[in-house]
Structure 1
């Protein structure tokens, strides 16, 4: 096992400069294999009968086009029909770039086998600055990887590298034949990484390495190497014991209180496309596919309106009103009016990182007060004119009868305010409905982008007041990542809420302390539980500070919660990344995360103390 590297002074400032000057490729990925007409022009479907060289060339060209295309508009999905791809002598070994989805089309992950590797390496922004800190927005799911090392000797022998950060999901994977490493330790340093999310996967020995935080839920691991700041496991067979927290900083829940796997495409025995919608699980542990087909129900693709970016919101809403579900194929959709989801049980599934961009201050998506909606695989961007909210679930003054045993579910839903263009919104995600499950989201006000702003210009231009506001009761979030908003990043007003892994970084860019004041209090906590809440629980939470625009800025508390017995925070921390100070972890408790302990967290095992 390699020694974990901690952040060094100024490394994020250097990263921002390098990103601003790096070359961005914008050309479309090559598609030697013909796209299927059923799934739009930005989907390529492979069949085992295709020459392996053709498949390899297609995927290599896709990676070359997307490896540095962090703020580009190209989106693509590459699907594998059931069968085996590659051999020990001629493995299929490819890498995955930005806005790329790799998925099997089997009913089970074991129906598609890749003999080879599917990988993400560090980006080397200079010969001596190789990192995974900006390896965002890519997806892998529903297949088996039998790690075959031919053609990748030396440091990379026997290991599949998946060096990623936020907004990357690994779901329904079966990995055998070697080691899975979440850190790329084969390049020059510093090799930092900031992920991440795994669900419903059966994995070999896993090297966490430099990953600062990670959530693994409802999975099996042969072993897990180490922790850095905040490694969380829920319902994972083989997860490490957390009895000696914070040395190491593991948080382990034997079962996951509520889960629902993301819907997925598959091809049935007749060659027809279907969408499997997994069932809700309570107190789950391990994978859903151990005994065959994942429990749930199946919808034919003919029940979906298959949209492309050329389809108008009017046409999409008409299809939804007519009882269709919605499949958003890869691309960037300009949304000038709200996509209204008004029918109970509607499934909306994005593939290939389908992206909705707000136009003229629109709210891109609103889910009405109806039960059991599933919204998955979609990125939502703020636009030039300020939106009130980007995704709204229910109305604040009205509570739905959303059932606890079949909750509305948001899976792999990502938000951006700035980055590829100027963005403005008051709130990114607002959840008013009760019994909602949020399963992996990254709510990001950009700390860098192609706009060319200084930090002060970004503060005054890319408006983002709050990241997530949760007003509904009995809401559960598994993998809640919220960063850089200008007031409270997360406000939780609903009763009986549960968060399993929370990651927050405070904004880089407040120009002065006066710009970062909450009344008479210095700054806004990264996680705020409403003053009237009686019951709330958080497992594994971290708030980070890097006020690079003004390193003298203070934030009073990382977490701010009511002091009452029903509020329980388990395994929380703050950490300084070389600029700014968080004075306390929670409610005046815990020492300062200041420049005397850069990269070394301040931990609280339980608040309030038992």
Structure 2
């Protein structure tokens, strides 16, 4: 891994942009006989199979070009495809997906939308200080592809070998089927070094080809079906995946594969679809216990459909008062693309409320309060959004529940669920918080969470984008399925609840401690933990968990251990690892003093602990 590239200048959302909301629709949205309505406002495009393909191609290409290098810009897009077929083998639809772009089919099932062509992400090339060029996927964040079938067509040369999805964190693939070729998670056709640091796939059928993992340092595939999987690097986890590679973590000469035959508890992300009468619905999938394979293998995904009329469709100009009024009246909330300044918390108090983001809406507090606060009630679903820290210090950015370990309002058959929620401190602008995400509720599923104290961009520095912890869990029976938590200044994750279960965890320690004294838990413990299970916890299980170091200040910084857990029969850790990426210092042990240290002497080589204690 190399240091991530410097960010472009941030472009903040302007008052003018909010004032013109709804006054102009995208050119493609002119009424056509078969076109469904577009109630979501500008920057959401609804395509139909009867639209001229040249018009669709021009639109998606224009957005891709604009967003290709727009890592910290304010523009947000949703590209939605109504049921039907787009492109042909002779005239394919091929396009790329840039920053802050959601591409999704509007069918009830993935096969209802077919694209003959490709929907892709390639390496991003940057100019280095010495004038040379490096191409990699390390910064390919904040984009998504879901709910469609891709029939590969229309490419030539090296790029004809796969549909490329060369991304890192916050770039999920959900409910995707690829036929006619492979899916590659790295871009081996572009110039090097071709690094990638992802990633997440769920509820997808990739059995028609091989998934080329390549240079992906770590990856989680959940409740899907594979045709094959290549390579491993450091940490590859498969949970409830048909035809997954066999368990081989820690075996001599084996790949670092952690394979669980079933997922103990999961709930897929809510999604938009068009019903038979052409009306928009939001499907809320049913929670699954001991699951494997896709939710749609034997018919439509089980769940509850909610008509769009039961949602407030908000935009950045919608007042907090109007949002609170709608939620109190029993409405759900859909956040259209844009950047939202939030002056007071969005309070979600009703059980089973859905808060769904479309096109990576980004919420940022203007004061010292959280952006989102839910009551201790069951079944709340929050999905598809970015939460930025603001300039004032907040105790937390998102708080689930009020009562810590108490079981008030929880329901294991109807868990509160966060899907594809990304928290960011710095990067787009200066921001501070104490704890990014606080879980004070029980029976919760955290499904693909990236909690990131920025290591590059605007407002980045040890005393600038300050944040103690990326995730604090106080509730019981909380399941983490894909936790990416990076660069926080104290224990990156603190787990206080009982009966927690984490399947896949990825961490990088902060790059920028100025001294060992500035980054130490106590006089006898150097640094902090990547993941701390608190001393009083009696029951916790973790699988496939890794932590990396890159201390880049030229100071000899060490972490005594990456993982700290109580030594008790009910706490079991499986398939842990540490890696020294670059810089100085290192990690002295994997867990509680067990596991070989990683330093410059064994850079890039994982230190593994297969089971602890």
TM-score, structure 1 normalization? 0.94
Task: Give the distance between the partners of 1:325 and 1:243, measured in 2 at CA.
Answer: 44
**Secondary structure at the counterpart of residue 590 of structure 2:** strand
Where does residue 234 of structure 2 map in the other structure? 229
Q: Deviations over 1:239-280 (max 9, x none)?
A: 000146352100000011011110000001111000001001
Matches of 2:264 and 2:452, distance apart in 1: 26
Secondary structure, aligned partner of 1:287:
coil
Task: Identify the range of structure 1 (286-295 vs 124-133) with the bigger mean alpha-carbon deviation.
Answer: 124-133
C-alpha distance in 2, partners of 1:541/1:137?
A: 23
Distance 2:478 2:599 in 1: 33
2 CA distance for matches of 1:30 and 1:279?
35
- Seen in structure 2, the aligned counterparts of structure 1 residues 24 and 388 have a Cα distance that, compared at 3 Å, is closer
Deviations 1:183-209 (Å, cap 9, x if unpaired)? 001111100000000000000310000
Q: Is 1:535 aligned to 2:539, yes or no?
A: yes
Aligned residues: 587
1:67-92 Cα shifts (integer Å, max 9, x gaps): 00000000010000000000001100
Moved more, 479-488 or 543-552: 543-552
Asked whether the equivalents of residues 26 and 42 of structure 2 are also in contact (C-alpha less than 8 Å), the reply is no
Displacement of 1:290 in angstroms is 1.3
Tell me if structure 1 keeps the 8 A contact 2:249–2:258: no
Taking the TM superposition and a 5 Å limit, the aligned residue runs for 1:193-342 are 193-203=196-206, 204-243=209-248, 245-246=250-251, 247-342=254-349
1:359 match: 366
Per-residue deviation, 1:23: 7.2
Q: 2:6 aligns with which of 9, 15, 19?
A: 19
1:124 maps to what in 2? 125
Contact persistence 1:32–1:55 (CA under 8 A): no
> Within the alignment, does 1:69 sit opposite 2:77 as a pair?
no
Match of residue 34, structure 1, among 22, 29, 32: 29
Distance in structure 2 (CA, Å) of the matches to 1:561 and 1:73: 40
Contact 1:258/1:476, CA 8 A, preserved across alignment: yes
Question: Partners in 1 of 2:117 and 2:408 — Cα distance?
Answer: 48
2:548 aligns with 544
SS in 1 for 2:588: strand
What's the counterpart of residue 448 of structure 2? 440
TM-score normalized with structure 2 length: 0.94
Task: Report the counterpart of residue 193 of structure 2 in structure 1.
Answer: 190
Q: Which of 381, 388, 409 is the equivalent residue of 1:381? A: 388
Secondary structure class of the residue paired with 1:175:
strand
CA deviation map 1:228-249 (0-9, x unaligned): 1000000000100014635210
Taking the aligned partners of 2:441 and 2:80, their CA distance within structure 1 comes to: 34
Equivalents in 1 of 2:171, 2:116: separation in Å? 22
Is 1:563 the equivalent of 2:567?
yes
User: What is the CA-CA distance between 1:400 and the residue it aligns to?
Assistant: 2.0
Q: Summarize the alignment of residues 155-166 of structure 1 with structure 2, pairs less than 5 Å apart.
A: 155-166=158-169
User: Match of 2:21?
Assistant: none
2:511 aligns with one of 508, 514, 535? 508
Distance in 2 (CA, whole Å) between partners of 1:512 and 1:338 is 36
> Which residue in the other structure is 1:3 paired with?
none
Which segments of 5 or more consecutive residues in structure 1 lack a partner in the other structure? Answer: 1-6
SS at match of 2:63: helix
Residue number in structure 2 paired with 1:343: 350
SS at match of 2:330: coil
Aligned CA RMSD, in angstroms, stands at 1.6
Which residue does the alignment assign to 2:463?
460
Cα 1:370–1:216 change in 2 (3 A) is: same
SS across alignment from 2:378: coil
Aligned residue for 1:155, secondary structure, equals helix
Quick one: which of 573, 577, 587 aligns to 1:573?
577
Q: Taking structure 1 as reference, are residues 473 and 25 closer, same or farther at Cα in structure 2, changes over 3 Å only?
A: closer
Instruction: Give the deviation of 1:379 after TM superposition.
Output: 1.0
Q: Deviations over 1:344-380 (max 9, x none)?
A: 1111111100111011112100011111111111111
d(CA) in 2 for partners of 1:44, 1:57: 12
Q: CA deviation at 1:401?
A: 2.4
- Counterpart residue number, 1:177: 180
Whether the aligned pair in 2 keeps the contact of 1:26 and 1:69 (CA below 8 Å) is no
2:477 matches 1:474: yes
Residue 143 of structure 2 is aligned to residue 135 of structure 1: no
Separation in 2 of the partners of 1:365 and 1:30?
A: 29
Deviation at 1:554, TM superposition (A): 0.7
Distance of 1:553 and 1:326 partners within structure 2:
45
| Cα distance in 2 between the residues matched to 1:199 and 1:422 | 33
Aligned 8 A contact 2:250 2:608 in 1: no
Question: Cα distance, 1:33 vs. partner?
Answer: 1.6
Q: Quick one: which of 142, 153, 156 aligns to 1:153? A: 156
Paired with 1:109 and 1:25, the residues of 2 have a C-alpha distance of 35
Partner residue, 2:34: none
- Are 1:526 and 2:530 matched, yes or no? yes
Q: Is the 8 A contact 2:248 2:256 kept in 1?
A: no
Asked if 1 retains the 8 angstrom alpha-carbon contact of 2:249 and 2:575, the reply is: no
The answer for the alignment partner of 1:103 in structure 2 is: 104
* Alignment CA distance shift 1:90-1:280 (3 Å): same
C-alpha separation in 2, matches of 1:420 and 1:141: 26
Give yes or no for the alignment of 1:602 onto 2:585.
Answer: no
1:494 to 471, 493, 497: 497
Alignment match, 1:426: 434
Q: Cα gap change, 1:159/1:605 in structure 2, threshold over 3 Å: closer, same or farther? A: same
Deviations 1:442-476 (A, max 9, x none): 0000000134x5xxxx1011110110000101100
3-state SS of paired residue (2:6): helix
CA distance in 2, matches of 1:243, 1:232: 11
Q: Any conservation in 1 of the 2:515–2:555 contact (CA below 8 Å)?
A: no
